[in-house]
Every structure is written in structure tokens, then in C-alpha cells.
Amino acid sequence: MEKKIQNFKDSFNKEIVDFSSWNTLEGIRIRYLGRKGRIADLFKQLSALPPEKRRAPGKSLNELKDYIQSRISQESNRFAVKKEKKLPLDTSLSGIRQHTGKIHPLTKIEDEIKDIFKRMGFAVATGPEVETEYYNFDALNFPKDHPARDMQDTYYISDGVLLRTHTSPVQIRVMESQSPPVRVIIPGRVYRNEAISARSYCLFHQVEGLYVDKGVTFGNLKGTLEAFAQALFGEGVRLRFRPSYFPFTEPSAEVDISCILCQGRGCRVCKRTGWLEILGAGMVDPAVFLAVGYDPEAISGFAFGLGVDRIAMLKLGIDDIRLFFGNDLRFLEQF
């Protein structure tokens, strides 16, 4: 009897090691523990023995039954874990996402522009959007009662107080507060009293630059703006400086870049000229230096200004400036 019990245990141990599926494990269970299984069979044989001879093998048999039960449940647990892992995973289901936002395209382009100038050693300066006529016009050498003041349609708050038409007043404020050398860029909102259309809005974003030091030349201005334009629009871009007029610079220039859409061959955007006007610039007028107490014989400087909105429109291929201020999410999510 004891021998039979030991044999069953050995064969069970062999079978339980290399079962391959749920079915075989279930098969083992039925074979050993089932109502007509081997253990039941042995119990039947045991009951046939005289009572005094049942004790020792009875104990062994019970131990075997417990052993087999625990091993099978152990294996079936292990197997169940394996089975769960093998549940098919449809990896083509979409990923679980969070809400994500984006920075406004105007801010992005402004950051790009600021970064280029920061790498050249320009600091950032800011000033008020509501300005006095003195800072917006007088100190910048805009003659009184002259058509130059009409170049910019101005919103007035009260007598002598207005919404700045450019960030140039900050040039004056910066120079008033420090002595040369000065190297700053001035980003900010400016306002023009014009009817709103696809081409113009009542406000736009400007970045101006000012560099004042000993021996600054028009050649420096050209080099700086060329380096800037190539950094922003690509190495291949060419620049064209043509004479113009701004009261606060002399000589003054309009700066065109070769059209980035047609590479200068002529298209609708550049009005078939191959050139796009993107900047105004010039050497700081001595009258401006005198207004801030600098000696125009001792130093010289250049200033320039560009419209962020216009550059953003060119770079992003946008033909209606109002899109920037409409903030349609389907527009904002593209950048």
C-alpha cells in the first residue's frame, strides 16, 4: 500500500512538471482527484483493509491528497497568470492623451526674432503703450505741423497723450536712463488708427532695435540686418537697402528681403517685384541724441524696426491679419 502511494506520487510529480495546457492540467486533476480517480481508488482499497492496518497508509494517503491538491492549485494559479498575460492587445487603439496647449504664433515668431538678437548681444527693453506726444513724436524729431506726423494715424487719449504708434519712444526712455553703449531690442504692441481689414489691424506687434556706441556705421547696420534676416529666413535670403525717410534716422532705409515664396522670381505676394519690404532702419538722427543728452560727435548708432505680425504672415503663409486676433482653436493648434 505504502509503495503504491509512493509510486502515484512519483508519477504525479512527473506529470505535473510538463503539462502544456489548461486541458492537460484539468486532465491530471481528474485522473488523480476525480470521483473515479486514483486517489479515490486507493481510498477504496484502503477501506478494504482491516481497521488496525488502515492507520499508517491512511495518513500517507491523506498527505498525498493534500499534496496533489496544493500542487494543482499552485500550477493552475501560475497558469492563470500566464493566460491573463496572453489576452490579445489591440495596439492600434489610440493613445490616451492629455489636453495640450500651444503658444500663439505671434509669440512664437516674436520669440524667434528676439532670440536671434539676444544671441548678438541685444538686451530686451520695454515701455508704456500709452505714451506722451513728447516721447512718441517730439523727442524722435517729428516736426510739428508736418506731414511726417500724418504718416501714422494716431489714437489720442487726451491732449499730449496717445497710444504709441511705434516702440521707438522706448529708445528715448532707454537712452535717457543710461549712457552709451546701448544695445537693446524693444518688443511691444503699437496702435494705428486705421479701419480693420485683412491687411491691417488697429494694433500690431513691433520689435525695434537700437545700437549706440563709438564708431557704429551704416555698414554695421547692413551687416546686422543681413545676419538677422539670414538667421530668420535662411542662408539664401538676399537684402536690399533703399533710401527712405524716418524723422528719427538719417540716413534712413527701407529694407527688403528677396521674396521667400518665389525666391525673387516674382509672385502675387511680392507683387511681382521679387522683393518683400520687412524693415525700416537707419542711423540715429543727431537730433535724437541731442534730445537725450548724448553727444552726436562722440558716438553714433543705428536703429531698426520690424512688424512681427507681417513677418509671421510671410513665414506662415497667412493672408489675413485678423486670424491672429480671432484665436480660432483650429487655427492656433496648427503652430
Partner 1 sequence: MRVSFNWLKQYVRFEFAPQDLAHRLTMLGLEVTGVQAVGDDFVFEIDLTPNRPDAMSHLGISREIGALTGQRVKRPEIIPVGMSGETAPLITIHIEDEEDCPRYAARLIKGVTIGPSPQWMQDRLLAVGMRPINNAVDATNYVMLETGQPLHPFDYNRIAGSKIVVRRAHPGEVFVTLDGQARNLDSETLLICDNQKPIAIAGVMGGLDSEVSAETKDVLIESAFFNPKNIHRTSKNLALSTEASQRFERGTDPNGVIYALNRAAELMEELAGGEVVQGTIDKYPKRIEPIRVNLRAARVNQLLGSYLSEGEIGEILQNLEFKIEKSNNLVVEIPTFRPDILREVDLIEEVARIYGYDRIESERTSQIVLFHKPDHRERLSWLVREVLTGLGLFEVVTNSLTDEEARGMVSDFSPAVTIKNPQSRLMSHLRTSLVPGLLRVIARNQHRQQEDIRIFELGRVFHPSENSSPLPQEPTHLSGALTGLSSPRSWVGKSGIISFFHLKGLLEEFFFKILLDNYHFFSYDISELDDRALGIKTDSRLLGYFGHVQRRVLDRFDIEGDVLLFNLYFDEILGLIKWDRVYRPVPQYPFVPRDLSLVVAEKVSAEDLTGLIKEKGGAYLRSVQIVDLYRGEQIPRNKKGLTFSLKFQSQDGTLDDQVVNQIIEDILTDCRTSFNAQLRE
Nearer to Zn ion, 42 or 259 (CB): 259
Identify the residue among 32, 61, 131, 258 touching partner 1 (CB under 8 A): 131
Q: Does 198 bind partner 1 (CB under 8 A)?
A: no
CA dihedral of 260, 265, 270, 273, whole degrees rounded to 10: 140
Cβ distance to partner 1 smaller for residue 60 or 249: 249
Residue from 227, 231, 262, 318 that binds partner 1 (CB under 8 A)?
227
Instruction: Copy the grid coordinates of residue 196.
Output: 480693420
> Which of partner 1, Zn ion, none is residue 31 near (CB under 5 to 8 Å by kind)?
none
d(C-alpha 61, C-alpha 39), whole Å: 8
Binding mask 306-325 for partner 1 (x = CB under 8 A): ------------------xx
Q: Which of 262, 287, 323, 332 binds Zn ion (CB under 5 A)?
A: 262
Q: Are 282 and 216 in contact (CB under 8 A)?
A: no
Q: Cα separation of 273 and 144, whole Å?
A: 35
Interaction between residue 255 and Zn ion (CB under 5 A): no
From the number of C-beta atoms within 10 Å of its C-beta (0-12, 13-18, 19+), residue 210 rates as: buried
- Pick the closer one to partner 1 by CB: 43 or 155: 155
Taking CB within 5 to 8 Å according to partner kind, which of Zn ion, partner 1, none is near residue 219? partner 1
Draw the binding track, 78-117, toward partner 1 (x: CB under 8 A; -: no contact): ---------------xx-xxxxxxxxx-xx---x------
Question: Which range of residues in 99-107, 124-132, 255-263, 296-304 is near Zn ion by CB under 5 A?
Answer: 255-263
- Complex with partner 1: residue 160 or 236, whichever CB lies closer: 160
Q: Which of residues 2-21 bind partner 1 (CB under 8 A)?
A: none
149 by Cβ neighbours in 10 Å (0-12 / 13-18 / 19+) ranks as middle
Q: Which stretch binds partner 1 (CB under 8 A): 12-20, 41-49, 81-89, 222-230?
A: 222-230
The cell numbers describing 3, all together, are: 509503495
The x, y and z cell numbers of residue 138, run together, are 517730439
Taking CB within 5 to 8 Å according to partner kind, which of Zn ion, partner 1, none is near residue 93? partner 1
Residue 74 CA to residue 12 CA, distance in Å, equals 14
Closest by CA position to 135, among listed 288, 252, 237: 288
Radius of gyration of the chain (CA): 43
> Distance between alpha carbon 194 and the CA centroid of its chain, in Å?
33
Pairing of strands 239-246, 275-284: unpaired
Please report how close the Cβ of residue 288 comes to Zn ion at its closest, in angstroms: 35
Number of chain residues interacting with partner 1 (CB under 8 A)? 84
- Give the nearest distance from C-beta 32 to partner 1 in angstroms: 44
Q: Does residue 259 bind Zn ion (CB under 5 A)? A: yes
Alpha helices per DSSP H over the chain:
2-17, 22-33, 38-48, 51-85, 105-119, 133-136, 168-177, 218-233, 286-291, 308-316, 322-326, 329-332
240 beta partners: 256
Footprint of partner 1 on residues 37-76 (CB under 8 A)?
none
**215 is a site residue for partner 1 (CB under 8 A):** yes
Query: Residue 270 interacts with Zn ion (CB under 5 A)?
Result: yes
Nearest to 110 by CA among 298, 308, 245, 242: 308
The single residue among 261, 271, 290, 319 that binds Zn ion, judged by CB under 5 A, is 261
Q: With respect to Zn ion, which residue has the nearer C-beta, 40 or 262? A: 262
Q: Which residues bind Zn ion (CB under 5 A)?
A: 259, 261-262, 267, 270
